[in-house]
Structure 1
Amino acid sequence: MSIARTLTIAGSAAQGSAGIQADLKTFQERDVYGMSAITAIVANNAKTDNGIFILSEEEVKAQYFAAIEHVGVDAIKMGMLFSKEIIELVANLLKATTEATPIVVDPVMIGKMGSQLLRDDAIEAMIDKIFPLATIITPNLFEAERILRISKISTIEQMKEAAKALYQFGSAYVLVKGGGRMERALDVLYDGESFVELDKEKIDTIHTSGAGCSYSAAIAAELAKGETMVEAVTLAKNYVHAAIKYALSFNKGIGSTYHAAFRKYEENS
């Protein structure tokens, strides 16, 4: 039996809703074989003042080679990279080993719980080292604003202008995600020439932890299986919309998207 293989390079989220936990759940739901190279451990709680623990470059490198040498990879998803040093390491690894492999980059900066997941001085390194290697980048509006150093994006026209500007950094595609700021769940996909708008009803919930991670992981899963970019993003949009629609609420704060929701409730509807 053969199966498409996907690798996530990202942080570990102890609560299970985001990061590699969300990615691996998504890979399983989208029927691909998931692997991980953890860059950091995010474990915010009332018992510690330090909720982020960064792994060494050697630890990240060892995980990466364990995955690609022993299993192989058909698509890579990147999430939390955190520092210039890890960004430069990952960029060098990708350039040396991943010719023609689809690479999905989710430029995560701030977690739903407020954690800073990318250092301020690492943004330029992300733009210079990682974006040119990406098949697609998937910033939300806040991330697009930070990357482009622009004021608030609030219209579809501004989303399209942002996508055009982001495309200049070298990725083959740009997906700008409207998130909770727009009146509808509206995203814009740009390939350098034309736009595809992905429009869904907005779900009224605060329980969206892991939505961005899951979206980009689902795109990677579909690309690994050989889908076109438009097909991959459309399928991923449907998947994450269902995950938000049937989101989970736990003890306190922002709850998790429900990764099994599309399969259980909407896939065959």
Structure 2
Amino acid sequence: MNQVACALTIAGTDPSGGAGIHADLKTFQELQSYGMSVITSVVAQNTTGVQAIHHIPLEMIEQQLDSVISDMPIHAFKTGMIANIDMMKIIAKRISNLNAPYVMDPVMVATSGDVLIEENARDFLRESLLPMTTVVTPNIPEAEFLVEEKINTVDDMKNAAKIIVHDLGAGAALLKGGHLQGDAIDFLYDGSTFYPFSAERIATKNTHGTGCTYSAAITAYLSQGDSLLEAVEKAKHFVTLAIKHSFSLGAGNGPTNHWGVRKESSSQYEQTNY
């Protein structure tokens, strides 16, 4: 029997279903990777913003990690919201021996603008977790924090990617250009080459959970043995259709559509059971 591809997400929750581990697990399922999760924080949020945050006790985070790692195969994993240094230290220790690709979505601020990470934890993320990654997937505001420089142009994006890889130690950097004008162009930098991924900008406010969904799709494809370049290319396609077919749900920024890829024929990426 062929072993099923298994993907783990370590992140916070979203009871409205658009972001966090909810988005990650939906994405894993759509892409036929077996999804597992370790919850770091329980977040009361919806399309309008974050109403409350409760952090899971540290020993419970540790126990969740131990339960999964000791029993289940992990072929790729990602981190999302990790709110403080103590959580990061526990996670760093537990993932250091995992022989699997690590995708970091450096979640700091929700789509609504609510801050999701303590200020002093940002430096620890940059200095201790970032060098462990296979790829980090910042949007422009997150990349500006990581490199401590403003990013206004495509050249700025490329320079930031070089800093993240060569100076901060990430395995690769996927700089997402959604905050710039024009087409939504992202750049993957692997330490030697820039690979552009462009898609037509979609006029919608329903972008809740796009970063989680994009990074989860990369994780799913990596868990199935794709190269990083292949994984990003397929994930860009997946998230673009998720945005194109997004939902006008709630009073704020509606969620992406995790089965949007099923709504269009795309033989290059079509899953066998669609």
Letter of the aligned partner of 1:185 in structure 2? A
Equivalent pair of 2:75/2:100 in contact (CA under 8 Å): yes
Distance in 2 between the 1:211 and 1:202 partners? 13
Match of 1:115 in 2: 114
Match of 1:238 in 2: 237
Distance in 2 between the 1:8 and 1:267 partners? 27
Match of 1:226 in 2: 225
Letter of the aligned partner of 1:91 in structure 2? A
SS at match of 1:123: helix
Equivalent pair of 2:75/2:223 in contact (CA under 8 Å): yes
Equivalent pair of 1:175/1:190 in contact (CA under 8 Å): yes
Task: Give the number of aligned pairs.
Answer: 263
Which residues of 2 match residues 39-58 of structure 1 at below 5 A? Answer: 39-44=40-45, 51-58=52-59
Match of 2:248 in 1: 249
Distance in 1 between the 2:187 and 2:205 partners? 22
Letter of the aligned partner of 1:231 in structure 2? E
TM-score in terms of structure 1 length: 0.94
Equivalent pair of 1:154/1:182 in contact (CA under 8 Å): no
Gaps of 5+ in 1: none
Which residues of 2 match residues 62-101 of structure 1 at below 5 A? Answer: 62-95=63-96, 97-98=97-98, 100-101=99-100
Equivalent pair of 1:242/1:266 in contact (CA under 8 Å): no
Match of 1:157 in 2: 155
Which residues of 2 match residues 103-182 of structure 1 at below 5 A? Answer: 103-151=102-150, 153-167=151-165, 168-182=167-181
Q: Assess, with a 3 A threshold, how the Cα gap between structure 1 residues 148 and 247 changes in structure 2: closer, same or farther.
A: same
Letter of the aligned partner of 1:86 in structure 2? M
Equivalent pair of 1:155/1:182 in contact (CA under 8 Å): no
Distance in 2 between the 1:194 and 1:215 partners? 21
Distance in 1 between the 2:78 and 2:171 partners? 15
Equivalent pair of 1:248/1:258 in contact (CA under 8 Å): yes
Gaps of 5+ in 2: 269-274
Deviation, structure 1 residue 146: 1.4
Distance in 2 between the 1:202 and 1:28 partners? 26
Letter of the aligned partner of 1:164 in structure 2? K
Equivalent pair of 2:245/2:260 in contact (CA under 8 Å): yes
Which residues of 2 match residues 198-217 of structure 1 at below 5 A? Answer: 198-217=197-216
Equivalent pair of 1:29/1:263 in contact (CA under 8 Å): no
SS at match of 1:187: strand
Q: CA RMSD in A?
A: 1.4
Show CA shifts across 1:131-165 (max 9, x none): 111000000000001122212x1211111001001
Deviation, structure 1 residue 180: 3.6
Deviation, structure 1 residue 50: 5.5
